[in-house]
Amino acid sequence: MNLFEEMGLPGPLVKKLALMGITEPTPIQTHAIPFALDGEDVMGLAQTGTGKTAAFGLPLLAKLMEEPGKPAPKAVRSLILAPTRELAGQIRDTLLPLVKDTPIKVALVVGGASIGAQIKRMQMGTDVLVATPGRLLDLLDRRALSLSDTRFLVLDEADQMLDLGFIHALRKIAGLLPSTRQTMLFSATMPKQMEEIAGSYLTHPKRVQVSPPGKAADKVTQGVHFIAKAAKGDLLVELLDKHREELALVFARTKHGSDKLARKLEQAGYAVAAIHGNKSQGQRERALRAFRDGEVRVLVATDVAARGLDIPDVKHVYNFDLPNVPENYVHRIGRTARAGRDGAAVAFCAPDEMGELKDIQKVMKMTIPVLSGRAWEELPDPKAAPSGRGGPRRGRGGAKGGGGQGQAHGHGAGQPDQAQGRPRRRRRGGGGGGARKQAA
């Protein structure tokens, strides 16, 4: 008898896990599954890549196996909400092998795909519906499905749903669910607002935490280059040249920036693709498939992909632009060193990103090792009273042009694009006009 059997999972599920080569539960699974099987609400906190999907998926399927019968037309017996299309698809793909040769049906509804086909798919009802909040509300508005029979609710990566502004959608969806239900909430970080969400959705939950919020995977080697914005592209090409045969994921802040960077890398001879919110679902799936299969060696992405990518062979993560939500850094670098492998995460920090770096290190509770250059002086708040000095100050990271030392050399660049959230800080010493902001 293995540990999955000792937890009380049904034999057919245990056998399927064994056929998949899974015989030992991860820590989050070990702690969460017994509570979930007992019918308790669960709040699970664990870093990315630790098996959270199976931690809620296995007990959910076990519960459904105990309840015979088919779902009524348009009915949803259990609902799993995820913030992005990629993560929703990943959850669906994880569950499908576990329900093979069983009557349990798993359906996926996300934006960017034909809503007509999804409406037709839901006519017969489903046992498990994996959905993004926006598309789910679209289908509810069209009376294409009903949540009145939903007995189980899972909120996966709930902190990112808050980051992406889904709080009102979540409240609306929760109001359509039966009050008698089992709810599981899983997340990699625990921002203050999450406590409020947990209090609203969970009833006396069992809290399971196997690693501190904000902690990166143990096998990720981190480092930062202090470098002028204009020099980032050349440094990225230089670093990528050292491992052309290995998969690398590059994070940019905006859609426009992702496409521009992908074109530069393509001109440098790389097999590259970009994914972001302006890409159709089909384009995103094709890009991810090519990346997973090794046809594309470099994938440029916005944070829309930070939670949904589960590709064990990703060896390198580059934070070309630092995220303005520090917790997103944790999720970005969690795309490497998965399934026990090693990985490297490299950040590029321009003068106007020192505030972001400081916030990231505070969340991580560590100082990220410096690979080149020297730390820039953090830029003053533009809303603060003027200092009275007669001109803009230069950063400490390098010479007159604003670059760092070593590989972090280069000249100053224009003001970067703005992203969602708080306004970007201005850089010292002139600068061109910023591009229009684009959501990821």
Mean pLDDT (10-residue bins), the chain, 440 residues: 85 91 88 95 81 93 90 96 90 94 95 92 96 95 96 89 80 89 86 74 88 60 95 96 93 92 94 87 85 93 71 89 87 73 90 94 91 81 51 40 37 33 38 36
Contact 399, 369 (CB under 8 A): no
C-alpha 271, offset from chain centre = 23
Q: In terms of Cα–Cα distance, which of 75, 139, 147, 150 is closest to 109?
A: 139
How many angstroms separate the CA atoms of 12 and 16, rounded?
6
- What is the CATH class of 220-380+393-408? alpha beta
**Interatomic CA distance for residues 282 and 301, integer angstroms:** 15
For the chain, what are the domain ranges? 3-209, 220-380+393-408
For the stretch 97-124, what's the b/e string if a residue is b when 16 or more beta carbons lie within 10 angstroms of its beta carbon?
Answer: ebbeeeebbbbbbbbebeeeebbebbee
Residue with tokens 């003027």: 386
Residue 438 is predicted with a pLDDT of 36
| pLDDT given for residue 350 in this prediction | 96
Contact 63, 18 (CB under 8 A): no
Q: What pairs with residue 126 in β-bridges?
A: 76
3-state helix, strand, coil in the chain (%, to 5): 40, 15, 45
| Structure-token pair, residue 380 | 């003053």
The one-character DSSP state at 269 is T
Q: What is the pLDDT of residue 391?
A: 42
Taking the C-alpha atoms of residue 46 and residue 106, their distance in angstroms, rounded to an integer, is: 25
pLDDT at 333: 87
CATH 3.40.50.300 assigned to 3-209: yes
Q: Do domains 3-209 and 220-380+393-408 have the same CATH topology?
A: yes
The neighbour count for residue 85, using CB atoms within 10 Å, is 24
The C-alpha atoms of residue 230 and residue 412 are separated, in whole angstroms, by 6
Phi and psi, residue 190, nearest 5°: -135, 75
